[in-house]
Structure formats: C-alpha cells, structure tokens
Copies of this chain bind each other. A is one copy, B any other.
Amino acid sequence: MATIAQVALFAGVSTATVSRALNKPDVVDEKTKAKVREAVDALGYRPNQVARGLASRSSRTVGVVINRFDSAYYGQMMQGAEKGLRSVGYKTIAESTCEHADGERAAWNSLLDRQCEAIILHADALSDDELRELYKARRNTVLMNRYHPDFADRCVYLDNIKGGQLAGEYLLSKGHRSIATITGPSSYYEARDRLTGLRQSLANAGIELDPALVEEGNFRDDMGFTCMNRLIDSGKTLSAVFCQSDEMAAGALDACRQRGVRVPEDISVLGFDGLDLAYHLTPKLTTVRQPLREIGEAAGLLAYAVATKSTDHSDIKRIFAAEVVERSSVRDLNDGS
C-alpha cells in the first residue's frame, strides 16, 4: 500500500501538492498534475479514506440501524437508503438490532463512535419518550418510516391516516359496507393511524366501523390467522376485511381456506405493505402499498443533508403516500347489482 508520502517523493513534489492534485484539481498546475498522476499510476496509489476522514473531519459514512435485514419490509428500506447514500458517495454501515431497545441504543452509540456523520434509525422498540431524550444529544439522526412530533423535519414516513382512508375508500368503491379490520398493535402509531383513516373514510360514507369487527393483531401472519378465525366465529356479517399488513392477510387467507370461506367470493381481503409476498398469495392479494424503497432513499438523502449540514432540505420528500395495488382478493360487489 503506497502512501501519499511515497507518491510525493516519486513525483518530486510535496504531499500537500499530491493532496491538492487529487482533491482540488483546479488549483494545481497541469504539468504538476501530470507528474502526480504518473506517480499515482506507477505506485498504484489509493488514498486511505480513513486517514482522509480523520484529517478532514468527515467520514462520508452514515449508519443505518434496522431491526433485521432478512425480511422484505426492512430489506426494501435498506436498499433504498444504501442506494441514496451511494449516489452521493457515502458509505453505509449497517447494523441490526433484533427488535431490542438495548440493541437500538447500542447501535446508535457505536455508530456515532465510528464517526458516522448521521444515523438513519428505524426504531421499533424505542419509545417516543426515550427517542426524544436520546435525540437531544444526537441531532444528526433521521427516523426512517416513523413519525415523531418533536422532530418531524427529521422523519421520513408514510401518511398512515391517508393509507387507512385509501383502504376504506377502495373497499367502499367496490360496494363493500360491512367492513372488518385486523390492525397492528395499538401501541404502534402506524396501527392507530391506519385505523383512524379507515374509520374516517367509512364515516364519510355514513358508516360506522363496528367495534366488534376490529381485531388487534401484531402484523405477523399467525395473528392474521387467529384474528380471521375470530371474525368468522363471531358470526357477524362482513363482506371485506382490511388487514394492516400483507403478512396478516396471508394468515387470514389461510384461515379462510381452512374454514371453507372463499376469497373473494365470500369475503374480500385487502392487505397493506405491498410486499412481493402479496403477489404470491392465492388469490393474489390486493393491497395498499407503501413505497418502502422510496422512503429508504429519501431517508438516505435526508441523512446526507443532515451530515453535510445543508440548510435546505425542502427538496427532500418526507411524507409518502400509499397506493392501491389491485389484484384478485377483493370482489367488486357493484358487478352483480
């Protein structure tokens, strides 16, 4: 590994000149630059970016803290974030936390010790209060797909209320009136917002969401299965159920299959997330897609803006809208009438 000193020696110039030739080419003479280039090629010199970072106090690195990488939900955001960061020449140090608040805290700290200029945090386990507390000391943080009222300008997230509304409106437009829903944990603002949105859209149509048709799940498929069974057992009339995640919809579909309930003939099922999974279910799942890659990418760019202390972030989109991906799990009741 050649160092800048060796290059300088070889080229017969000072290290400062080599540094300039490489980083501020317009400030140095053509001929000198040629000599430097020659030396660089001859020695196969590649600047040590760590030393560079230490001297210039800029690591060009951001940390991404995420629950886990082995699920499409996180994977898409990770992909987006890394892509955004890569596009501006930044590196991504990735760390998973295994759904542990301790892990989230530890990762946050250790990434800062590594001189990450910003941290992209997907905090699942940390509470709003703790987040606020920690954020005070670490202002260079971006929240990915989570909203926190105290630093909304550092949050990139989906408008979950509108997402829930969209779900309701879609179902209404297909003629559904008896609508059930399987939500995420009520401790998650996403779950609450989506429910609020659903309620609003129904209210706009003069329909009140029946509390008996609201089941609280946990976003995972086994709870989708359980909740769907409960709904079926309730004996209540229902023509459609809106699941707040595709995974729960998968479980719900399983339950229907086992109970001999046909989807969408007997009951329509609408998912949320828009993962590849939805496409592979039977019937292919109609779902409300969150643009996770885009959210990740925006988080990456916002992190970059934070890192470089650029004052104007107004060009970076922070609130994203969900959209319906129409497939075959929702029946159009208008057809028959």
- Which A residues are closer than 8 A to B by beta carbons? 46-51, 53-54, 59, 61, 64, 68-72, 74-76, 78-79, 82-83, 86, 91-96, 109-115, 221, 250, 257, 276-277, 280-282, 293
Contacts and interface: CB of A to CB of B under 8 A. Distances in A.
Chain A at the B interface: SS class: helix
A303 to B, nearest CB: 15
A9 to B, nearest CB: 21
A86 B50 CA distance: 20
B59 A70 contact: no
A49 B113 CA distance: 6
B109 A82 contact: no
Contacts of A83: 96
16 contacts: A48-B113, A49-B113, A49-B115, A61-B93, A69-B79, A70-B72, A70-B75, A79-B96, A82-B95, A82-B96, A86-B95, A92-B94, A93-B94, A94-B94, A250-B280, A276-B277
Contacts of A282: 257, 281-282
A124 to B, nearest CB: 15
Given A69-B82, A96-B79, A113 B277 contact: no
Given A61-B93, A70-B78, 6 more contacts: A48-B113, A54-B54, A69-B75, A91-B95, A92-B93, A93-B93
A57 to B, nearest CB: 10
A271 to B, nearest CB: 12
A52 to B, nearest CB: 9
Contact of A54 (B51, B69, B71, B78): B51
A112 B92 CA distance: 14
A270 B82 CA distance: 35
A311 B48 CA distance: 26
Contacts of A69: 69, 75-76, 78-79, 82
Contacts of A92: 93-95
B82 A75 contact: no
A48 B115 contact: yes
A76 to B, nearest CB: 4
Contacts of A280: 221, 250, 277, 280-281
A91 B221 CA distance: 32
A190 to B, nearest CB: 20
A280 B222 CA distance: 12
Contacts of A71: 72, 75, 276
